Amino acid sequence: MPVTTSQQRDLLTLCALRVDGKLLDWSMLARSCQTADALAAVMTGELVEDSRAAHRGRSILQEGLRDLTQARAHVDTELRAADQAGAQLITVLDEEYPANLRLVPNLPPFLFYKGELEVGDARSVAVVGTRAASEIGRSRAARMARELVAEDVVVFSGLAAGIDTAAHTGTLEVGGRTVAVMGTGIAAKVFPAQNRGLAERILEEGGALVSQFWPTANGARWTFPQRNVVMSGATMGTIVIEASSTSGAKLQARIAAEHGKQVFLLRSLATQEPWAAEMITAGRAVEVAEVADVLGRLGSAQRVQQASQQRLQLALGGL
């Protein structure tokens, strides 16, 4: 199994609690359990957070804590699957938890990953777009990725067909670092199947695969939008290359704006899609034509790390 602490196991156990088919809200747990003392309090049935998720969760928590046998067994099963897949675990309890992600309210309590997570990942951008990409859209995504790499920016994407594939591939072609945020568990089959080879290449060439789900979880309609939350949260901003009004990339643009992240929409997208033009007009996104338009709005990895540490210190102080 991945090397785990008793505290990490307790956090995972809370995530696995199920009472009459109901679960605790994972983001609420992530906000509530960022220190050992806070986790210990939750393990006694105490939820300090004053939110709808916490109010709904108190009865689930207190009932579930009466018998943790099934929850702990589920955690053991998932940890074995992660180990067999060669994956590692990081949680909000760990100082090394991704800096950008710690700064958003709907952060996941844990991540399973393959490869390595690096401090430099804080200076990163998600390059996303439609699965049904045009040839010119794929070309634009690959070019944007290559130009970001030239400026020491880590490229995140979602390992999907279309724009995501072009972004990952374009990064690798010039020796850059890319991180794939998956819509499935880290030990489940890669989706889409056509990108299994790409996932392997990402690892072989120094990148990482990341999942916020239980290792054995298969993809479902709800997992991919949840993946977009983490992809936005883990980066400084999101660049949307090509996306219709029903695309998951449009959803990620909205999420990124809600996170207070930079949202970059390609000029070609803004002229073709009303939703993109509306975001720009409302000041929730910026129209870009080239990588220089993006770079001028990115902060430094050091500033992100400092902000993340400040957030953790507030948690340590019980604030």
Q: What is the pLDDT of residues 250-298, one digit of tens each?
A: 999 999 999 999 999 999 999 999 999 999 999 999 999 999 999 988 8
CA 277, chain centre distance (Å): 26
Return the percentage of the chain with pLDDT > 90, whole number.
89
Structure tokens given for 224? 């991919």
Structure tokens given for 119? 């401090």
49 three-class SS: coil
CB 113 within 8 A of CB 215: no
Domain ranges of the chain: 6-87, 114-302
Hey, what CATH topology would domain 114-302 get?
Rossmann fold (3.40.50)
CA gap 167, 156 in Å, rounded? 8
293 three-class SS: helix
Q: Please report the pLDDT score of residue 181 as a whole number.
A: 98
Q: Please report the pLDDT score of residue 1 as a whole number.
A: 58
HSE-up (13 A, CA, CB side) for residue 243: 26
Question: What is the per-residue burial (b if ≥16 Cβ within 10 Å, else e) of 125-137?
Answer: bbbbbbbebeeeb
CA gap 208, 281 in Å, rounded? 36
For residue 317, pLDDT over 70 is answered with: no
Strand ranges for 34-174 from DSSP E: 88-91, 110-115, 124-128, 154-157
pLDDT range class, residue 307, cuts 50, 70, 90 = low
SS3 content of the chain, % helix, strand, coil (to 5): 50, 15, 40
Element (H, E) at 263: strand 262-266
pLDDT range class, residue 4, cuts 50, 70, 90 = confident
Give the mean model confidence (pLDDT) for residues 238-261. Answer: 94
Q: How many residues does the chain have?
A: 319
* pTM for the predicted model, two decimal places: 0.93
Q: Which of 260, 301, 266, 235 is nearest to 250 (CA)?
A: 266
